[in-house]
Structure 1
Amino acid sequence: MTGDRRPRSPISAQDRLWLKLDGPANPMLITAVLWTSTEVDPERLKRVVADRLIGRYPVFTRRPVLDGGTWFWEDDLEFSLDRHLTVSELPPPGTREVLQDLVAARRGRLLDPEHPLWTMELVRGYGAGSAVVLCSHHAMADGIRLVQVLFGLFDPVAGDAHPARIGGVGPRGVDFSRAPSRAAAKVVKALNGFGERLEGPVARVTLGWPLLGLSTVAGFTGAVAEAVTSALPSRPATAVRWLMGQGFTARNTVEGALGLLAPAASGALWSGEPGPEKTAAWGNAVPLDLLAAVGHATGTSVNDVCVALIMAAFERYAQETTSGSGEAEMNWLIPVSRSDFDDALPRDLGNDFALILAGFPLRKRNFRERLDDVHRRVSSIRESLEPALTFGVQWLAGRAPEIVSEPLTRFFAAKAVGVLTNVPGPRRPGELAGALVEGIVGWAPCSGKQAVTVCVFSYAGFVRFGFGTDRSLVPDPGLLVTALDDAVTDAVALTNR
């Protein structure tokens, strides 16, 4: 290195996509808030962050720069931890509602592109303890990886014979995280490998990028064919059953593809132009064992129960707002991590996930009917190749010229009213800089004209539901929290039948 040239590395296509989508109406921020039972010491927190975050992941000291048409992560020679880790006082009376307003303001804030794209704010005066608000740009890493980074700052509770371990709830991504079938997993792997081989050639293609040529098509077809062939069972009887199953998979895949081509999500209640002001709200923790009991009694999963609870909350919101809603269902984009939650994180972090478009019923006669419908829809998506299709869309959008990639991405973002995430946390409680962490929630960003982001966040045997909305389109997330609490009562009643 000579002169003023700084150490840098290219930003991958998957990560570049989120830089392109950033804007005042929907900043591409992944936002998390946790709170502790006692005050967090600022100096001790600074040492933990310096050691376990700054010292491990270089992207937290790098900024994005565009040079000659190529994006790079470049070392910020003026990096200062004090610029990114700040301390503030929560205004009186220091309640959850006051903290929610602060988090909402952070969700709508654009970060300074001249410095690394993250902030951590220690908020003192939240009850008897503190709160910590972490905002990180999606270009740095996906939500699952950033949550793992956050949990990496935790220590086991003193004297706990069973220390905290990440991965408490099980399947993430609302039960889509497990491979839908062996063949589907092979195809996804083939798509990824094929994409890596084409990284250079596709980056050089201009407006003719969809016409990659016969050799490219042949290579793609061969990669997928090889993957599917390797997944075929060897014995005849097993092969027959496998083929019957793949017929089911093919049908569900076609249905998923048609859904991707369907018109944009509609409905006066959630539609419109988002503004810069956001909201954030979360309710009391729900015991994980309680949700598991509902799933056991109904032959469904914990994730099915969580989705049904969320949809019940939105139905109530639609009924009680003056605008009403004639929608029969709501479409969501659901992130699905392509790596295990417990896997060791790469030093450069980055994004490694696909998005699934899933529609769930909004209007149902009772909770059991809603839960059964959610279970059927989740099962059909898991038994399809839709994750491979949506990953392909993301792959193309990340590598296509900007004139193509942005409209393509916004086209698919318009299919959904928002983003729905499910994050598994540690089964046991942990401490941050010596203070017991009592709870945590976090949200993915919305994109395009999306109005809602919802999280299902498990921690230490409890689940919290968080709602982040656009204030101009869905102004009262507190109503959603109340409606979900009421839906929990309806769900628990199913265990007594």
Structure 2
Amino acid sequence: MGERRRLGAQDALWLEMDEPGNLMVVDSLFWTAEPIDWDAWTVVVEERLWERFPVFRSVVVRSDGGWWWEERPDARFEDRLERVVLPDPGGDAELQALIASRRTVPLDREEPLWRAVLVDGYRGGSAVLFRAHHAIADGIRMVQLTLSVFDPAPDAPPLADVRPHDGAAQVVGPVVGPAPAGGGVVGTARASARLARTLVANPVGGAHTALGAGRSLAGAVLGSVPGDVDTVRKLVLGTRNDATRWTGSVGERKAIAWSPPIALDAVKAVAGAHAATVNDVLVTCVAQSLHDYLAGHGTVCRSVTWDVPVNLVPFDPALPVELGNSFALVQLELPTHLDDPLRTLGVVRRRMGRIKSGHEAVVDFGVQAVMSRLSRRVYRFSVDLLANRAVGVLTNVPGPQVPLHVAGRRIEGMMGWAPLTADQVMSFTIYSYDGKVFVGIAADAGLVPDHEQVVDGFVDAFHALERLTLR
């Protein structure tokens, strides 16, 4: 028996939320144009993740009325890896089918709760699908862990030093500061490290003082601002999420798609022209793509609600040994009945502004703390009740805006999908990297037919908004 660490209350919540149709597994993907030397990749990942963080060598055990991470001395890194060669022609469709087939494959509780699928034959290069249970860490820390495997140049030091610590005051951070005008490897490393900090920015810009206000529900004193009025309404009355094409019970057949990238500078130009944020513009495109998808399937609804993860702790480049979860979910209601993208943008800006001015994230964190103390049956009912108020999870990851490398190979793109629960049908991800914006969806294949239309519609919605801006 190895060393044990007790799971935090929120970590234990996610551990017990697996359902056959919706597993609590975070799926992360990156790909390269050139084949990866898997021996070199193995050395990097084993050193930077496996040897540094005990949770990757641990299994979950039930003891003394709670869940514990128990380190397994006999655990082997190579047992967590799976090699796959894509069938011809080795394009997007083949890789997406592979990911979809894994989306409902549970992780073995008798083994460490993660796996990496090493893919050859994707567009002449390679890809890695990293699957890890949400109980290990939240999405922000997962992304930070992923970045620790990458380098700012083929032969450069790691992007950031993420040596684990046990909560001591001292931390080891990345090199920050202005990059030299000449650029080069050093300048790239510094720029990348700064961008690693911005990576954990809250997608909706709220809750930046959430944990400072107190870790309990009582610590969140609601004021009379519109954001807090909205919070009370959502908590007591629920959100508007009209029954529509995708309403129903989820199955175990999933579908994956992602769009061609959009230039981030183009998104910034549209945002600047309307005194909006980049996030406002991107979320508006989500709303318009859903409007167009529903219209194409003969359905109209006024509003679709999404759960949006919000980070609750400051950026810490020295990740704690136990990792874990420190986030909340805010509910964002998107208008899906408007034909005019500019009107949609105005509504989105107002609703995002109310969330930013309120305390919804800290209230949600308090609700999670209360729920973690309920009996399993009541807890499961409460989770399903709250989760089914949203169609799924909408995640916006502002990644590094410089090219990164792994085992000497340049990374061409990144994508990931948050887990869903209850009868949520879509995980929608907006991921920016190296000056490009990628959009991906993981959906229930039975309830969201023609799922690729949603991500294609996102790109179409942006170009429509761009045309209206430039006319």
- Structure 1 residue 336 and structure 2 residue 307: aligned? no
- Within 2, Cα distance between the matches of 1:69 and 1:416? 32
Q: Do 1:419 and 1:444's aligned partners in 2 also have CA atoms closer than 8 Å?
A: yes
Deviations along 1:429-471, whole A, 9 cap, x unmatched?
Answer: 1111111100001010110000001011111111111111011
- Within 2, Cα distance between the matches of 1:68 and 1:277? 37
- Structure 1 residue 31 and structure 2 residue 54: aligned? no
> Within 5 A, what are the aligned runs for 1:184-223?
185=209, 188-192=211-215, 195=216
2:168 alignment counterpart: none
Q: Provide the secondary structure at the position in 2 that maps to 1:441.
A: strand
1:202 alignment counterpart: none
Residue from 102, 112, 116 that aligns with 2:112: 116
- Within 1, Cα distance between the matches of 2:433 and 2:8? 32
| 1:256 counterpart letter in structure 2 | T
Greater C-alpha radius of gyration: 1
Q: Do 1:422 and 1:455's aligned partners in 2 also have CA atoms closer than 8 Å?
A: yes
1:289 alignment counterpart: 265
| 2:138 counterpart letter in structure 1 | D
- TM-score normalised according to structure 2 size: 0.88
Deviations along 1:337-381, whole A, 9 cap, x unmatched?
Answer: 112446432121100001101101001131111111100000011
Q: Do 1:119 and 1:136's aligned partners in 2 also have CA atoms closer than 8 Å?
A: yes
| 1:176 counterpart letter in structure 2 | G
Following superposition, the deviation at residue 110 of structure 1 comes to 0.6
- Within 2, Cα distance between the matches of 1:224 and 1:484? 36
Residue from 247, 256, 276 that aligns with 2:231: 256
Following superposition, the deviation at residue 169 of structure 1 comes to 6.7
Q: Provide the secondary structure at the position in 2 that maps to 1:155.
A: coil
Residue from 280, 285, 292 that aligns with 2:256: 280
Q: Do 2:260 and 2:438's aligned partners in 1 also have CA atoms closer than 8 Å?
A: yes
Residues 156, 43 of structure 1: alpha-carbon distance in 2 compared, 3 angstrom cutoff? same
Residues 177, 126 of structure 1: alpha-carbon distance in 2 compared, 3 angstrom cutoff? farther
> Within 5 A, what are the aligned runs for 1:60-459?
60-158=56-154, 160=185, 161-163=187-189, 164-165=192-193, 166-167=195-196, 172-177=201-206, 179=208, 185=209, 188-192=211-215, 195=216, 247-248=224-225, 251-263=226-238, 265-321=241-297, 324-341=298-315, 343-459=317-433
Stretches of structure 2 that go unaligned for 5 or more consecutive residues are 155-183
- Within 1, Cα distance between the matches of 2:230 and 2:264? 33
Q: Provide the secondary structure at the position in 2 that maps to 1:318.
A: helix
| 1:345 counterpart letter in structure 2 | L
Q: Do 1:11 and 1:72's aligned partners in 2 also have CA atoms closer than 8 Å?
A: yes
- Within 1, Cα distance between the matches of 2:350 and 2:206? 16
Deviations along 1:48-92, whole A, 9 cap, x unmatched?
Answer: 111001122111111111124211101123311111122211111
Deviations along 1:150-170, whole A, 9 cap, x unmatched?
Answer: 011001124544233344877
Q: Provide the secondary structure at the position in 1 that maps to 2:414.
A: strand
| 1:390 counterpart letter in structure 2 | D
- Within 2, Cα distance between the matches of 1:178 and 1:261? 20
- Within 2, Cα distance between the matches of 1:266 and 1:363? 11
- Within 1, Cα distance between the matches of 2:214 and 2:327? 13
- Within 2, Cα distance between the matches of 1:59 and 1:328? 44
Q: Do 2:207 and 2:359's aligned partners in 1 also have CA atoms closer than 8 Å?
A: no
Q: Do 2:300 and 2:337's aligned partners in 1 also have CA atoms closer than 8 Å?
A: no
2:451 alignment counterpart: 477
**Count of residue correspondences:** 437
Following superposition, the deviation at residue 103 of structure 1 comes to 1.1
Q: Do 1:169 and 1:458's aligned partners in 2 also have CA atoms closer than 8 Å?
A: no
Deviations along 1:25-53, whole A, 9 cap, x unmatched?
Answer: 10101001110021111111110111001
- Within 2, Cα distance between the matches of 1:334 and 1:258? 17
2:40 alignment counterpart: 44
Deviations along 1:95-142, whole A, 9 cap, x unmatched?
Answer: 011111111112221111100110111100111210000011000000
Residues 280, 169 of structure 1: alpha-carbon distance in 2 compared, 3 angstrom cutoff? farther
Q: Provide the secondary structure at the position in 2 that maps to 1:279.
A: strand
- Within 1, Cα distance between the matches of 2:244 and 2:206? 32
Q: Do 1:282 and 1:481's aligned partners in 2 also have CA atoms closer than 8 Å?
A: yes
Residues 173, 415 of structure 1: alpha-carbon distance in 2 compared, 3 angstrom cutoff? farther
- Within 1, Cα distance between the matches of 2:198 and 2:334? 22
- Within 2, Cα distance between the matches of 1:134 and 1:108? 14
Q: Do 2:420 and 2:426's aligned partners in 1 also have CA atoms closer than 8 Å?
A: yes
Q: Provide the secondary structure at the position in 2 that maps to 1:156.
A: coil
Following superposition, the deviation at residue 178 of structure 1 comes to 5.5
- Within 2, Cα distance between the matches of 1:484 and 1:190? 37
RMSD between aligned residues: 1.9
- Within 2, Cα distance between the matches of 1:169 and 1:287? 19
- TM-score normalised according to structure 1 size: 0.84
| 2:263 counterpart letter in structure 1 | P
Residues 438, 224 of structure 1: alpha-carbon distance in 2 compared, 3 angstrom cutoff? closer
Q: Provide the secondary structure at the position in 2 that maps to 1:281.
A: strand
- Structure 1 residue 487 and structure 2 residue 465: aligned? no
- Within 2, Cα distance between the matches of 1:31 and 1:224? 32
Following superposition, the deviation at residue 477 of structure 1 comes to 1.9
**Higher helix content, 1 or 2:** 1
- Within 1, Cα distance between the matches of 2:23 and 2:251? 11
- Within 1, Cα distance between the matches of 2:369 and 2:51? 30
Q: Do 1:168 and 1:424's aligned partners in 2 also have CA atoms closer than 8 Å?
A: no
| 2:248 counterpart letter in structure 1 | G
Residues 464, 172 of structure 1: alpha-carbon distance in 2 compared, 3 angstrom cutoff? farther
| 1:288 counterpart letter in structure 2 | L
